[in-house]
Structure 1
């Protein structure tokens, strides 16, 4: 049991280090990295605190503690996927709006480029 806790704790710390490295190298957006750092902290806490998952399972009425761990992992991944879809939808909407604005600007530029020039009146023509 102790080797499992050491492994879990090391995985949590290792994951936190990798996430911080990816954020530092700008391979991972800071807000997304914070989520994964929280996951790494939770894994490290499960490794450091003996019997935490057993206590949580007993408190929530789940008979088999690893089932609680799997349930929590599924819920976290579901929430992460939902959040990623929401961000993706916002980005797609913004890109669609930018494309529409660009098309309107290009249409205005073409219209002003192909519009006939108005004759300019000279100052001598306006005198009586």
Structure 2
């Protein structure tokens, strides 16, 4: 094992420890835990066994196999950013609907607390 492999394995292990600490403090949701632990495991595998990237690169026909982990990592980051944007958009939509419902409830509450003089006439007509 070379110095670079050992350094990569230590970084991956440190990354996994930080993730577990965040889980313990309930800073990550269940899907995020799986995502980041898979990333830490992938880093550890590539750090301890760099020949895995060479083997996969040869099987896929990549002429320079060390670039494979970088391309895969970039693709996974794009997927992660996309899923985060989808979730943020969903939450914004839910928040907007909730704000609209709250405004309606507040308006009704205001009308009940402060009836206008014409409201009693309107109630008589119905």
Q: Quick one: distance in 2 between partners of 1:63 and 1:50?
A: 16
Unpaired runs of at least 5, structure 2: 121-126
TM-score w.r.t. length of structure 2: 0.84
Aligned to 1:95: 95
Q: CA deviation at 1:50?
A: 4.4
What's the C-alpha RMSD, in Å, of the aligned pairs?
1.8
Q: Quick one: distance in 2 between partners of 1:56 and 1:107?
A: 63
TM-score w.r.t. length of structure 1: 0.83
Q: Quick one: distance in 2 between partners of 1:51 and 1:7?
A: 16
Aligned length: 118
Which structure has the larger Rg?
1
Displacement over 6 Å in runs of 4+: none
Unpaired runs of at least 5, structure 1: 119-128
Correspondence list, 1:48-67, <5 A:
48-67=48-67
